[in-house]
Amino acid sequence: MAAVTYAGTGAVSDSDFKEVTWTGKDKGGNSVVITFANAINMGDIDWTFADKDDTVAAVTFTACYANTDAASTATTEPYTITINGSTAGAAEILLGAGVFSIGGTDVALTRGGGQFTAGRVYREINADGDRGAVKGRVVMDEARPTLTLNALTFLTRVADLYPALAVQA
């Protein structure tokens, strides 16, 4: 097998934004899919090496808005959650195991699964005399959804997991 060498490019390109999905199941066997259409890992390459242990890289993708118009009133957050056929009762329980994919291709074996966070930031609009939050005056200022996978196998997908990297010729 030939050696592959990666080198930092120093620049984030459009190809560094990828579709990232997590597909899991509920206790009833129905699929639950979280999809980020334009996701990028803004974290650093951070691999911890330990004697007599496997390296598990925590890779966190952030869903990015495609809108560049600051005056836009569009408020759709840049992710979707699709629940396929879940029913009430025990079937509502979301199981922890799932499959992470980038661009429709399964990425890696995971150890310790992963995590989805909507990352919403709310702000209260307060007036003199308010005793707390007031209905109608709470706004969501920001959403920074993240999807983290704890990758046990990742060496053949390094350039898919980390932006600003390319195979060196």
**Residues 105/125, Cβ–Cβ less than 8 Å:** no
- Quote the pLDDT of residue 111: 84
For 98, phi then psi, to 5°, come to: -165, 180
The secondary element (H helix, E strand) that includes residue 107 is none
Determine how β-strand 80-83 pairs with β-strand 31-41.
antiparallel
Share of the chain above pLDDT 90, in %: 44
Burial class (CB in 10 A: 0-12, 13-18, 19+), 143: middle
- Quote the pLDDT of residue 95: 87
Rounded to an integer, the average pLDDT of 12-36 is 93
User: pLDDT tens, 124-150?
Assistant: 999 999 999 999 999 998 899 999 998
pLDDT at residue 16 tops 90: yes
pTM of the model: 0.85
User: pLDDT tens, 2-15?
Assistant: 888 999 999 999 99
The domain locations on the chain are 16-66+76-167
Rounded to an integer, the average pLDDT of 34-59 is 90
pLDDT band at 54 (very low <50, low <70, confident <90, very high): confident
The Cα 155–Cα 25 span in angstroms is: 27
pLDDT at residue 169 tops 90: no
- Quote the pLDDT of residue 1: 67
If one compares 68 and 140, the residue with the highest pLDDT of the two is 140
The chain-wide mean pLDDT, for the chain, equals 88
